[in-house]
Every structure is written in structure tokens, then in C-alpha cells.
Structure 1
Amino acid sequence: MNLSQIVETAVDPALALLPAAMDSPAARCMLLAIGLQESRFVHRRQIGGPARGFWQFEKGTRASRGGVWGVYLHPASKDRLAALCKARSVACDPDAIYAALEYDDVLAAGVARLLLWTDAARLPRIGDADAALTLYLRTWRPGKPHPASWPALYAQAVAAVGV
């Protein structure tokens, strides 16, 4: 899928289901950059791994508070996650959410935005690829990060946002 299709079919509808304060050009840029980094918007199931959706969420555990569990338990996101799940007709429990991420791109984009929302720092200004990479690494905590691919993918996201 190209980025305009992702925006139209996943990002726009997801952000419409979340509070208006969550929608900004910086948020859209981060969602596109992270999706490109994680799956290139090609793979909804991680090759050889447990992650699901274009944003490649793992379920995590209650104890680790990683992945879906992290968004489910975090005070800044849990109520908004419940509303998002209700709007997408998905039970608001980590197992159901994790299963749906592979097939529901709107839910996946919404959960990705909620994970960014849980971070205490402001979103980086558009164009600050280093700060954006730092945010991605801090929030997604990828097991095998590939920082060398980030600048080009981030540039694609910036261009797609058109700011």
C-alpha cells in the first residue's frame, strides 16, 4: 500500500475516533514513519515473530507492560483504548486487541497513536529525524532496531504529510 492509501484507510479513520488533540501533522508523521520502519506497510504479521499489524505490536504481558498490554494498562491511554475498541467492535482485552491488529488497520493505527500518547515527551517537530528516531526507539523498543533505514523512511513520511 502506498502512504496516501494508508492515510485514507487507516490513519484518518483512526484519528477521527480519538480525541482531536491527538491529531496533528507531527503525530501523522510519526505514525507513517513508524509504520514504514516496522512493516513498510506490507506485512501485517511479523516475519518469523509475534508482532501484528502494520505497526508491529507484540502482545506483551501485564508484568512487562509492553506492546498491547502497555497501552491497555497505561493511565493516559486505557480509557481511550476502550472507546476505540468499542468503535471498532473489538472486545477491550489484550488478547482480542492483539488478534484484531492483524486485520483491522484502523485499530492498529489507533493503538499506535495511543502508544505515542503514553510518552511524556512532546512529539518531535516535523523534520527532526533524530528526535523522531529517539521517540520511536523509546516507545516501540524494537528488539532489532535498524537505525540506518530510519532517515530515508522518515523523509518519506515527512513528504507524505506535506508540511
Structure 2
Amino acid sequence: MADLDHILSRVVGPGLALLPSTMDTAKARVLLLAIGLQESRFETRRQIGGPARGFWQFEKGGGVVGVLTHPSTRKYAADVCKERGVEPTAAAVYPALERDDLLACAFARLLLFTDPKAIPAIGYPAAAWDYYVRNWRPGKPHRQTWDALYAKAVGAVS
């Protein structure tokens, strides 16, 4: 499992800096870390045996298209793509997620931003799980690993 201090300082912080400062909150950082741990343990950028890409495991026709086209995120997504030198299309963003961790982080935060409900308060792993599942819609969710990974994320941000 990756060093979460390193992920925070080299990926999450700089990835969130590509977005409006109001999107960089402790609640967002905890959830981004927890989801990254749940999805890839921050160890692989290409889903083993599947189509997802990046630490947060986005699929081309799912999260990538969703963030690029959602009314609340499409402008931010286009701005992030421009900053990272990526055409704001699913065909360009999808493979870039595997090599550009900051792009992947920004898209993960933008996916959370599409949810009209607020990110749950820190310290409520069940509410955070529900938020994650509602937004990521994982094919094979592993609830049994979430609480421990969420606790690691909380510890890293606190």
C-alpha cells in the first residue's frame, strides 16, 4: 500500500489545486484517499482484468464521460484538461488517467462534485461508504475492507 503522506503531497494536493479552492476540503481529501485505497490501494493505475484507469479506477463510458458532460463539472473538467495538456474528450482523457495522477485526482474530485448531497462528515465510515457506492457504482464492492481503509485516510488527513 502506498505512503499516504506521499499521495497527499504529490497527488491529492496538486490535483485539487487544479480546481477551485472551495473543492479542497478535509472531507474531500479523506474521501479521495479512502476511495483511492478502496479502488487501487494507490498501487495500480490499470484495473487488473478490467477496463478502469487511474488510481481512482475510472471507466471511459462511466466516470470519464460523466465528469466531461455533467452540467456542474464540464467547465471545470475542460479547464483541468487544458492545464494538463489533454483534449477534453473521453477518448483522450481515459488513457491519460493512467499516466497523469493529477488529472485522475481532479476527475475523482469532480465526480464527487456531481453529487447534489454534501460529502459526509469525517468520522462516519458508513455514510462515506454510501456516498462512494452511489457515485462510483463499483461492480464488485467490498464493504468489508472499507472501514479500515477509511480509518487510514482519516489518520492521514488529520
1:153 aligns with 2:152: no
The CA RMSD measured in Å over matched residues stands at 0.6
User: How much does 1:99 deviate?
Assistant: 0.7
Cα distance in 1, alignment partners of residues 91 and 5 from structure 2: 30
Matches within 5 A, 1:131-142: 131-142=127-138
User: How much does 1:8 deviate?
Assistant: 1.3
SS at match of 2:60: coil
Deviations 1:103-144 (A, max 9, x none): 000000000000000001001000110110000000000000
Cα distance in 2, alignment partners of residues 105 and 88 from structure 1: 10
Aligned length: 157
Give aligned-pair identity as a percent.
59
1:27 aligns with 2:28: yes
Query: Which aligned segments of 4 or more residues in structure 1 are displaced greater than 4 angstroms?
Result: none
Cα distance in 2, alignment partners of residues 9 and 85 from structure 1: 18
Amino acid aligned to 1:87: E
| Residue aligning to 1:86 | 82
Amino acid aligned to 2:59: E
| Residue aligning to 1:109 | 105
Give structure 2 stretches of 5+ with no counterpart.
none
| Residue aligning to 2:40 | 39
Cα distance in 2, alignment partners of residues 7 and 88 from structure 1: 19
Amino acid aligned to 2:74: K
1:98 aligns with 2:99: no
- Give me the TM-score of the superposition, normalised by structure 1: 0.95
| Residue aligning to 2:115 | 119
Cα distance in 2, alignment partners of residues 8 and 96 from structure 1: 26
Cα distance in 2, alignment partners of residues 52 and 9 from structure 1: 19
Give structure 1 stretches of 5+ with no counterpart.
61-65
User: How much does 1:67 deviate?
Assistant: 1.6
Cα distance in 2, alignment partners of residues 91 and 70 from structure 1: 16
Cα distance in 2, alignment partners of residues 18 and 151 from structure 1: 28
- Give me the TM-score of the superposition, normalised by structure 2: 0.98
Cα distance in 2, alignment partners of residues 96 and 86 from structure 1: 12
